[in-house]
């Protein structure tokens, strides 16, 4: 199968590459298909543990990776969208969901792989809709998985007869811990339990390792897959760490409980299907379902234990400082405290703007993470302030209600400005460093000058929120910034016409960065335009009065 006169070593390596690339392709496309629905789904899981387990099963079935789902939970924990008790059921559900992929690859579907790949490519090539393209990529990804498995299986039969490998696998048979440890390390490296178990199926099917040792690979893969979330939790807050380590302890304790009874469970499962691949897939399914049933009654206690092991530290103490029940004593007090919280949110955004230019000067992972963390803080404050103001608006008169709507519009602009820095500007910086590009000397000077003007406009726009007399100044500065951007664009195009290599290489990044900076300045001056229109209307009414 697909040997093309190549050696068995090349076939083996190519098979592993097909398997890994196909898995990554399918996962990436499935994440894109589900991206808009995942976060909304998370907000509904706290009402029922059974629902949360179902969500975990569903997400892992769709994304084909328990590690990807748990890493996503770590990210949501970092953003303070979820807490550990909410997602303990999801963690258990991911273990069950991961068994579907293993069940699927336990059947020899390689005969259908190339026709399905051809169909997927044809759909991808001729369609223009992103959703259909992603679906076609999923088909191609799964096809590559089955092609890779067949190539691994074919080459495994050859390698199983080599004396040096016979001795190696005999050493694994003589020491069960070696098999288990090899699976943990391999799974941590490829970051997929399905890939690890799929390889174990191929080796067992070729007679390279006995089925019992393949079951040890199943145990090792279940622990190894937790490394994905643990690595994602490095530098995270306490919630992210709680989620990652809850996943680790759940998997590890499950293996400890099942390992002594492996031979008995294997004997029972052999009654259903004795072929090596089906035995391994069924054992993986039984192991995860039984573990879920055992731990289900202890979800709450388990969450409490993990929370004690990874408590909230002083560094994690971020939250709304001025929004409490006491602020509801009267409307003036509520508005005053909300404005103080808004200014705190604005300070974070302003500091993000000030630091954003440094993203392009040197490749600094600490600063990149700091920008992302501060955007999460802005998102958190935006939700808290908005809910507080909307709740208060229901209890206030019309005049106060209009004031509250203006405040909500301002924090919405702040949140969008922070998103622009985190999503767009940070991505541009990462792209620049990944491609090892450098701005031209004059281009860098202009970007720094543009950034300095944006900081000035942002500072004035934020200050004008508390002092309406400064709105005209903020608007004037913003107009000067717009002229400056046009001037810098013209300069950039002039350098392009001169054929400067640095300018040509960084053109898209340079122009996009100028646009983002102008957009941020516009967002922080929106309220100033609204205020001046109101003042102009009041002036007209005053002159019309007798």
User: Is 66 in contact with 60 (CB distance < 8 Å)?
Assistant: yes
Q: Which of 286, 310, 334 is the last residue of a domain?
A: 310
Structural domain ending residue among the three candidates 287, 310, 333: 310
Using CA atoms, how far apart are residues 391 and 469, in angstroms rounded to an integer? Answer: 30
What's residue 79's pLDDT?
59
pLDDT of residue 513: 93
Residue 317 lies in a domain: no
Q: Are residues 233 and 343 in the same domain?
A: no
Tokens at residue 289, please?
Answer: 């379902």
Mean of pLDDT values over 491-500? 91
For the segment 259-288, what is each residue's pLDDT rounded down to a tens digit? Answer: 888 888 888 888 777 788 888 888 888 898
Assess if residue 291 is contained within a domain.
Answer: yes
Q: Is residue 244 part of a domain?
A: yes
More confident position, 230 or 208: 230
Residues 392 and 413: their CA atoms lie apart, in Å, by 20
Please check whether residues 297 and 418 belong to one and the same domain: no
Range of the domain at 533: 325-544
Domain co-membership, 231 together with 337: no
Do 260 and 382 share a structural domain? Answer: no
Q: Across residues 237-241, what is the average pLDDT?
A: 82
In terms of domains, do 160 and 217 share one? yes
Supply the pLDDT for residue 491: 93
For the domain that residue 412 is a member of, what is the CATH number? 1.20.58.220
pLDDT in tens, 434-481: 989 999 999 999 999 999 999 999 999 998 887 777 888 889 999 999
Percent of the chain with pLDDT over 70: 81
130 and 77 part of one domain: yes
* Number of helices (H), then strands (E), in the chain: 23, 0
Range in 34-48, 140-154, 409-423 the model is least confident about: 34-48
175 and 121 in a common domain: yes
Q: Are residues 306 and 329 in the same domain?
A: no
Instruction: Identify which of 199, 193, 190 has the alpha carbon closest to the alpha carbon of residue 151.
Output: 199
- Closest to 263 measured CA to CA, from 278, 277, 283, 240: 283
pLDDT tens digits for range 75-103:
767 656 677 887 888 888 888 887 877 77
Query: Which tens digits make up the pLDDT trace of 282-336?
Result: 888 889 889 988 988 888 888 889 988 888 765 556 666 667 545 455 566 677 7
Higher pLDDT, 537 or 146: 146
**Low-confidence winner among 108-112, 225-229, 422-426 (lowest mean pLDDT):** 108-112
For residue 529, being part of any structural domain is answered with yes
State whether residue 109 is helix, strand or coil. coil
Q: Has residue 336 been placed in a domain?
A: yes
Are 44 and 94 within one domain?
yes
Which pLDDT tens digit goes with each residue over 5-38?
Answer: 667 778 878 887 887 788 777 767 766 666 545 5
* CB atoms near residue 423 (< 10 Å): 13
Residue 399's pLDDT is 52
Count of CA atoms in the C-beta half-sphere (13 A) of 51: 9
pLDDT computed for residue 536 by the predictor? 47
User: What distance in Å separates the CA atoms of residue 197 and residue 290, rounded to the nearest whole number?
Assistant: 18
In this structure, are residues 183 and 196 in contact, taking their beta carbons and an 8 Å threshold?
Answer: yes
E strands present in 264-343 = none
Residue 315 lies in a domain: no
Whether 1 is in a domain gets the answer no
Same domain, 143 and 63: yes
Residues 400, 367, single domain; the answer is yes
Q: Looking at the structure, tell me whether residues 198 and 290 fall in a common domain.
A: yes
Tokens 């702040």 belong to residue: 414
Residue 345 has pLDDT above 80, yes or no: yes
Domain end among 310, 336, 363? 310
Q: What is the dihedral of CA 47, 49, 53, 56, to 10 degrees?
A: 40
Report the number of distinct structural domains present in the chain: 2
């Amino acid at each position: 199968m697909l040997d093309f006169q190549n050696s068995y070593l090349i076939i083996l390596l190519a098979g592993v590459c097909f398997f890994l690339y196909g898995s990554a392709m399918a996962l990436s496309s499935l994440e894109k298909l589900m991206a808009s629905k995942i976060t909304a789904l998370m907000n509904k899981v706290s009402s029922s543990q059974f629902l949360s387990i179902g969500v975990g099963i569903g997400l892992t079935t769709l994304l084909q990776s328990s590690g990807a789902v748990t890493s996503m939970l770590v990210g949501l924990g970092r953003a303070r969208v979820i807490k550990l008790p909410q997602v303990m059921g999801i963690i258990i559900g991911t273990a069950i969901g991961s068994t579907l992929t293993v069940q699927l690859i336990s059947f020899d579907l390689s005969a259908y792989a190339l026709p399905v790949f051809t169909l997927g490519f044809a759909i991808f090539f001729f369609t223009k809709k992103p959703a259909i393209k992603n679906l076609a990529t999923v088909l191609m990804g799964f096809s590559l998985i089955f092609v890779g498995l067949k190539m691994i299986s074919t080459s495994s039969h050859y390698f199983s007869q080599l004396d040096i490998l016979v001795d190696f696998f005999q050493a694994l048979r003589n020491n069960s811990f070696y098999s288990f440890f090899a699976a943990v390390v391999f799974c941590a490296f490829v970051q997929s339990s399905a890939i690890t178990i799929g390889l174990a199926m191929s080796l067992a099917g070729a007679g390279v390792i006995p089925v019992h040792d393949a079951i040890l690979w199943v145990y090792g893969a279940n622990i190894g897959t937790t490394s994905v979330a643990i690595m994602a939790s490095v530098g995270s807050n306490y919630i992210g760490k709680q989620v990652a380590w809850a996943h680790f302890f759940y998997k590890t304790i499950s293996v400890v409980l099942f390992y002594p009874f492996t031979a008995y469970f294997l004997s029972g499962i052999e009654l259903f299907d004795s072929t090596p691949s089906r035995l391994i897939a069924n054992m993986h399914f039984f192991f995860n379902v039984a573990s879920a049933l055992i731990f289900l009654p202890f979800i709450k206690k388990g969450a409490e234990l993990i929370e004690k092991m990874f408590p909230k530290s002083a560094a994690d103490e971020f939250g709304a400082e001025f929004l409490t029940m006491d602020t509801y004593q009267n409307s003036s007090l509520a508005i005053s405290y909300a404005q103080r919280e808004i200014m705190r949110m604005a300070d974070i955004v302003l500091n993000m703007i000030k630091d954003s230019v440094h993203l392009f000067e040197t490749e600094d992972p600490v600063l990149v993470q700091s920008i992302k963390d501060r955007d999460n803080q802005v998102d958190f404050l935006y939700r808290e302030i908005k809910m507080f103001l909307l709740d208060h608006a229901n209890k206030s008169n019309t005049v106060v209600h209009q004031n509250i709507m203006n405040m909500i519009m301002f924090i919405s602009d702040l949140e969008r400005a922070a998103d622009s820095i985190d999503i767009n500007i940070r991505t541009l910086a990462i792209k620049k460093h990944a491609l090892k590009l450098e701005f031209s000397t004059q281009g860098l000077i202009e970007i720094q000058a543009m950034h300095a003007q944006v900081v000035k406009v942002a500072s004035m726009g934020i200050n004008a929120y508390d002092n309406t007399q400064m709105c005209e100044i903020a608007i004037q500065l913003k107009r000067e910034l717009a002229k400056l951007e046009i001037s810098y664009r013209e300069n950039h195009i002039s350098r392009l016409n001169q054929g400067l290599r640095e300018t040509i290489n960084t053109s898209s990044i340079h122009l996009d960065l100028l646009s983002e900076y102008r957009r941020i300045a516009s967002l922080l001056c929106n309220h100033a335009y609204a205020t001046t229109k109101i003042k102009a209307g009041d002036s007209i009414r005053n002159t019309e009065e007798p």
